[in-house]
Amino acid sequence: MNGYPLMLRPDGGSRMIAFGTTGIVCQNSCHTEQVIKAPLKYKLDGCSADVIERTLDGEEFARPCFEREKIIYKTLPKDPNILNCIEVTDDCIHLPFLRLGNLRDYLENHDRQVQAQTREQWIPMAVDAIALIYRFGVIHADISTRNFLVADDLSIKLCDFSGSAIGAESALVLEEDRYQIAPDSPRSIATDIFALGCLIFEISTGLRPYHEICDDDYQEIERRYSIGHFPSVDGLPYRKIIHKCWTGQYTDVSQLKDDLQKRDRSTRLFLPAFFSGSGAGVTMAWVLSLTTSTLAAGFLFWWSSRRGYWRSTDG
């Protein structure tokens, strides 16, 4: 018996959009602007006994993770930074179809086209989304650019609560290796905030933390994190915030939000027109022109002072 498991689409689902460890997402055949998410289920005809056993174990794990996601969507309020839940049924969750896909894929395909101002907007959106779920007792436990979807207006929406923690119910899942600290510990606000630092790093650079290390060498990534050896953040605009996320200096996401707001205020004071809506016509070329003019004026002052055109009148 050499058959392979055949992943089954949920009732009402047409083409498959995505699948993961616990669930499958398909476009809704009746409402193409929606998707249907369901727990993984397979057809096992012709499969060996070992394959059947392993696959059924996976299905058994997927079901409680999916039930957890249903509970969380029923608990959370509507929010612009959370993927809207249209309907929850016994077997499916109905969600909007965001055609631009997840943030990681979007960065991989459009990184050079993504403006700095868009990245500046994504980071507080992500942090606000996490702050909201904390108010309702939810620990995401799998924060990643994979789990933020990009809307048509380029806003991002937090999604995928499969296996997340809520209330007294512990998380059933873990983050991906590059976003994961202390894998043997329960998932918590501290592990979520560490992953938020990784998210901010990936948004800023377009690269996963330790992108140069092969996925198969996950133990090396774990070792480096365990001894406090993190990817370089030199030159990144959010380097101080990322470092504080990675070194456990935030005990609550509100502290991270405060630092973001302080940074935003100081940035706006430095270049108010460039970062405000009223300065929509101001471009980086204008900033470079201003910088060049300032440098030229400084050089002219230095040269003229050496020629004696500006001298002190004292004495």
**Residue 48 sits in which domain range?**
6-96
Mean pLDDT calculated for residue range 148-171: 98
Comparing 272 with 105, the larger pLDDT belongs to 105
pLDDT at residue 206 is higher than 90:
yes
The whole-angstrom separation of Cα 131 and Cα 211 is 28
Residue 50 tokens read as: 């070992």
- How does pLDDT run across 25-78, given as a tens digit for each residue? 999 999 999 999 999 999 999 999 999 999 999 999 999 999 999 999 999 999
Q: What is the pLDDT of residue 283?
A: 40
Task: Provide the whole-model pTM.
Answer: 0.84
- How does pLDDT run across 119-133, given as a tens digit for each residue? 999 999 999 999 999
pLDDT at residue 269 is higher than 70:
no
Helix boundaries (H) for the chain: 49-75, 103-110, 116-135, 189-205, 218-226, 239-246, 253-270, 272-275, 284-307
Please say whether the beta carbons of 35 and 86 come within 8 A: no
pLDDT bin (cut points 50, 70, 90) of residue 237 is: very high
Which residues make beta-bridge pairs with 283?
none
Q: Are both 85 and 149 inside the same structural domain?
A: no
Please say whether the beta carbons of 168 and 232 come within 8 A: no
Q: Are both 130 and 216 inside the same structural domain?
A: yes
Residue 92 lies in a domain: yes
pLDDT bin (cut points 50, 70, 90) of residue 288 is: very low
Angle subtended by helix axes 103-110 and 189-205, to nearest 10: 20
Mean pLDDT calculated for residue range 219-224: 97
Among the candidates 96, 116, 132, a domain finishes at 96
Domain with residue 44: its CATH number is 3.30.200
Among the candidates 30, 63, 96, a domain finishes at 96
**pLDDT above 90 covers what percent of the chain?**
82
Domain with residue 177: its CATH number is 1.10.510.10
Q: What is the mean pLDDT of the chain?
A: 88
Sign of the torsion formed by the C-alpha atoms of 244, 247, 249 and 252: positive
Residue 16 lies in a domain: yes
Q: Are both 49 and 138 inside the same structural domain?
A: no
- How does pLDDT run across 250-265, given as a tens digit for each residue? 999 999 999 999 998 8
DSSP state, 179?
G
